[in-house]
Amino acid sequence: MNQDLKNDRFLRALRREPTDTTPIWVMRQAGRYLPEYRATRARAGSFMALAQHPELACEVTLQPLERFDLDAAILFSDILTVPDAMGLGLSFAAGEGPQFARPVRNAADIDRLGVPDMEGELRYVTDAVRLIRRELQGRVPLIGFSGSPWTLACYMVEGQGSRDFATLKAMCWNEPALAHRLLDVLARSVAQYLAAQAVAGAQALMIFDTWGGLLGPAPFREFSLRYMAQVVDTLKTNAHARELPVILFSKGAGMHLPTMADTGCAALGVDWTIDLDQARRAVAGKVALQGNLDPAVLRSNPDTIRRETRAVLDSYGNHPGHVFNLGHGITPEVDPEHVKVLVDEVHSYGRTLRMT
């Protein structure tokens, strides 16, 4: 497999095999900091129209690869496509973040939820994956992704973004059986969704657990980690997905890396609040690591970007299994020229590092 790939650094690093330099991609690399993205987004009319139109989704997925020497592409989509396909009605009000027209509030709402049809409501996603794979022509691998069951549930129960997602937390404490029913149908849906992306041509899979870090240690294991592990387990039973590396990323979960590394995933995403040498010791060689430059560094100047980039590379050191990334998504204010500085520094210093 992947024999047609011209650049397999990213997949080799995820398998903790040696590479000529450190591979890099950037969370939200197809995004608002790029003028060409903003132009396509304006043509589409809305964020969801852009995500649901395979040709346009393909176009914005490829845009950052034209500018920068990135080692992976990531499907342009949203983490909340699965609950939207479950009938909750996702929209993005300007500057307001995601909103669901029909949030999930009680047992009846949860009982109504079923695993969406991957070739029905979610066909636009697999169509986009197929189209992007064709257009990539093996330049770099394509990453498919989903929100984690916990993170999907946060938005589904709250109906929108929140500082603390206390509505779902209260359900977990007061009616844990109900919360588990919701998380179980989400874990089954996310697993099928990621498997469908694998069948359509995704070459690695990532689960974004944006809000796992809002939980204390015991609830994190019970309500977030457990269902990511269920997704990974299910993917291992799928003929197409079982060979694909899975990356788990829980923001603010630096203290949970050892338990996360035991799920059977290939790699963990790491935010910038922990040093990579400490993270590497925490996972004891079980998984690769992806991260972890503070995204705010891209809003400083080129000299600082180079220096801080080298510090992240030095922190991981000359070991296999590092995929460079930011510790969180790139923000809209960033100058695209600064991303070029970052990508080029990772590749050039990554080569130097391997000579030490």
Instruction: List residues binding a second copy (CB under 8 A).
Output: 164-166, 169-170, 173-174, 213, 215-218, 252, 254-255, 272-275, 278, 294-297, 299-301, 304, 308, 311, 331, 333
Kindly report the backbone phi and psi dihedral angles of residue 261, in degrees, each rounded to the nearest multiple of 5, phi listed first: -70, -15
Count of all residues that appear for the chain in the document: 356
C-beta closer to a second copy: residue 46 or 273? 273
Burial of 7 (0-12, 13-18, 19+ CB in 10 A): middle
Minimal distance in Å, beta carbon 311 to a second copy?
8
Minimal distance in Å, beta carbon 37 to a second copy?
20
The runs of H, that is alpha helices, within 79-219 are: 81-83, 107-111, 123-136, 149-158, 166-174, 176-200, 217-219
Q: Tell me if residue 28 is catalytic.
A: yes
Catalytic residue among 155, 193, 227, 316: 155
Helix, strand, coil shares of the chain, percent, nearest 5, are 50, 10, 35
Q: Tell me if residue 41 is catalytic.
A: yes
Catalytic residue among 9, 33, 37, 78: 78
Q: Tell me if residue 130 is catalytic.
A: no
Alpha carbon 287 to its chain's center:
16
C-beta closer to a second copy: residue 234 or 304? 304
Q: Tell me if residue 78 is catalytic.
A: yes
Catalytic residue among 32, 123, 130, 299: 32
Minimal distance in Å, beta carbon 330 to a second copy?
12
Q: Tell me if residue 280 is catalytic.
A: no
| Rounded CA separation 98/323 (Å) | 29
Kindly report the backbone phi and psi dihedral angles of residue 289, in degrees, each rounded to the nearest multiple of 5, phi listed first: -125, 145
Neighbours of 272 (CB within 10 A): 19
C-beta closer to a second copy: residue 101 or 170? 170
The amino acid at residue 126 is: T
Transcribe 70-90 into DSSP letters: -S-EE----TTHHHIIIII-E
| Rounded CA separation 50/35 (Å) | 15
Catalytic residue among 9, 12, 16, 41: 41
Minimal distance in Å, beta carbon 45 to a second copy?
27
C-beta closer to a second copy: residue 91 or 278? 278
C-beta closer to a second copy: residue 36 or 275? 275
Catalytic residue among 16, 28, 133, 280: 28
Neighbours of 158 (CB within 10 A): 22
Minimal distance in Å, beta carbon 300 to a second copy?
4
| Rounded CA separation 49/53 (Å) | 6
Minimal distance in Å, beta carbon 181 to a second copy?
18
C-beta closer to a second copy: residue 233 or 333? 333
Any idea which residue has 């694909």 for tokens?
Answer: 244
Tokens of 1: 């497999």
Q: Catalytic residue numbers?
A: 28, 32, 41, 78, 155
